[in-house]
Structure 1
C-alpha cells in the first residue's frame, strides 16, 4: 500500500469515527428518525451531484429491488439503530460496538453459507464476545432499561451491516460499488420517509445541530463512500476493509477530545479484545504471519 492510499485509509477512518460524534451531538434535537432522514437524504443528493459530475447515470428501473435491500440493511436500519443508541451511549462505545460487524459476519457465514469455523475464527469470536462483555458489563448493576435497549440497538446495527455484506457477496456484479452507494441512499431515504412523519424533529435545532447533520450526510456518508471506493480501486477490498480496525480508535479519540468522554480501562481493554477478535476472524494475523 503506497503512501497516498495509507493517508486515504486514515482519513476514511477519521471520518467514519467522527460520524458517532456527530450523531451524539445532533440526535437530542433531531431525534433518531429525523436525524437519519436528513443524513441519508443529504447523502443521496450529494451522490447524485457526484454522479452528474462523473457522468454515471443510475439505472434504478433495473436494479431498484437490489438497491432497496442494500439501502435497508446497510444504511436505513443500522443508521436508525445507532441514532437511537446515541441518545444514551457515548460516541466512543458506539464506535467500538460498530467494529463487531466482522464477528457477526463470521457467525452468519457459518450458519447461512456453511462456511467452516476454524480454530482461529472460533477463538476470534470468543475474544469478541469477551470484549463486548467487558464494555457493557462494567455498569451492569447501574444500567437502566433504556441503556440496555441502547446497547442492544448498538449490537443489532453491525449485525445488519454484516447481513448486507453477505447479501452483496452473494450477488456480485449487480451494480458497481458507486451505484450501490448512490442507489441505496435514495432507497434508504424512501424507507425512512414514512417514519419521519410519525416521529418529527424533537426540538428546534440550532446552527450547531444543522452543521453536525450536514457533516454527517455530506462528509461521513456521501464523501466517505467515494473515498472508500477509491481505496477499493487502488488497493483492493481486503486491504480497504482494514479501516475497520482504525474506526474505533478515532471514535474513542473524538469522543474524548470533543465530548470529554471518559476513557477507562474497560473501554481500552474491551476494544482491544474486539479488535483482536476481528483480526482472528478475518485472518489478518495469519496473513501477517505468512508475510513475515
Structure 2
C-alpha cells in the first residue's frame, strides 16, 4: 500500500471504532431506536448530497423496496441491537464483539452456497467462540442475565451484517457504492420512523448529545463510507478488508481513553483470540474468490 492508502485505512478504522464511543454516549439519553434513527437519517442525507453532486440520484429510485430491505438488514436492525447492547456493556466490548462479523459471514455464505468450510475456517470459528467466552466470562462486568442478553444482541447484529452482505451481493452487485450506501441509510431511516415516533426520547437532549449524534452520523458513517469505498477502489477488496482487524483496536483505545472504561486483563487475550479467528476465516477468502465478498460487504456496510 502507498502511504496515502495506509492513512485512509487507519482513518476508516478510527472513524468506525469511534462509532461505538459516540453510541455509548448518546444511547442512555435518546434510547436505542431514536438514536439510530437520528444516525441513519443524518448520514443518509449527507450521503444523498454526495449522490446529488455525483448525479446518482436517479439510481436511488430504481429499487426502493431493495433499499428498504438492505437498510433493515445492514443498518436499522444491527445498529439498534448494538445500541441496546451498549446500555449494558462497554463501548470497548461492543467493538470487539462486532469483529465477529466475518465469522458469521463465513457460515451464511457456506449455507447459501452449499459448501463446507475448510478445517482452518472451522478452527477460526472455534477460536472466535473461545475469544467471546474469555471476554464475557472473565471480564470486569458482572455476569448476569442482562449481560448475556447484551452480548447475544451484539452477536445477532453481526449475523444481520452477514445476511445483509449476501443480500447486497445478489441485489446490488452492479450498483454504484455511493448509491448503495445512500439507499441503505435512507432505507434504514424509513424502517425506524414509526418506531421512533412511538418511542421518543424520555430525557432532555443536551448540546453534547446533539454533537455526538452529528459526529456519529456525518463522520463515522457518511465520511467513513466514502473513504472506505475509495480505498476499495485503490487497493481492492482484499486490502480494504484489513480494516476488520483495526476497528476493534481503535474501539478499545477510544473507550479506554475518552470514556475511562476499564481495561481488564481478559480484554487483550480475548481480543487476540477474536482477531486470530477472523484471520483464519478470511485468510482463504481474499483475492478474487467470491467468498471474500460477503465478508467484505458485511463489514463495510457497518457504519460503525
Q: Same-fold call, TM > 0.5?
A: yes
Range with bigger deviation, 134-143 or 76-85: 134-143
2:93–2:252 Cα contact (<8 Å) kept: yes
Write the distance in 2 (CA, Å) between the matches of 1:11 and 1:116.
35
Write the distance in 2 (CA, Å) between the matches of 1:108 and 1:53.
36
1:279–1:285 Cα contact (<8 Å) kept: no
- Give TM-score scaled by structure 1 length: 0.94
Query: Does the residue aligned with 2:202 lie in a helix, a strand or coil?
Result: coil
Q: Which residue of 2 aligns with 1:136?
A: 136
Q: CA RMSD in A?
A: 1.8
**Post-superposition offset of 1:284:** 6.3
Q: Which residue of 2 aligns with 1:176?
A: 176
Write the distance in 2 (CA, Å) between the matches of 1:130 and 1:285.
22
Range with bigger deviation, 53-62 or 249-258: 53-62
**Post-superposition offset of 1:55:** 2.5
Stretches of structure 1 that go unaligned for 5 or more consecutive residues are 288-292
Task: Return closer, same or farther for 1:175/1:55 CA change in 2, 3 Å cut-off.
Answer: same
Task: Return closer, same or farther for 1:77/1:175 CA change in 2, 3 Å cut-off.
Answer: same
Stretches of structure 2 that go unaligned for 5 or more consecutive residues are 288-304
- 1:193-227 CA distance string (max 9 Å, x none): 01101110120111111110110110011111101
Q: Which residue of 2 aligns with 1:237?
A: 237
Show the 5 A alignment for 1:40-55. Answer: 40-55=40-55
1:28–1:202 Cα contact (<8 Å) kept: no
Range with bigger deviation, 111-120 or 87-96: 111-120
Write the distance in 2 (CA, Å) between the matches of 1:53 and 1:107.
38
Query: Does the residue aligned with 1:13 lie in a helix, a strand or coil?
Result: helix
Q: Which residue of 2 aligns with 1:36?
A: 36
Q: Which residue of 2 aligns with 1:255?
A: 255
1:81–1:153 Cα contact (<8 Å) kept: yes
Show the 5 A alignment for 1:50-129. Answer: 50-129=50-129
- Give TM-score scaled by structure 2 length: 0.90
- 1:66-90 CA distance string (max 9 Å, x none): 2122111111111000110111110
**Post-superposition offset of 1:253:** 0.2
Q: Which residue of 1 aligns with 2:220?
A: 220
Query: Does the residue aligned with 1:59 lie in a helix, a strand or coil?
Result: helix
Query: Does the residue aligned with 2:143 lie in a helix, a strand or coil?
Result: coil
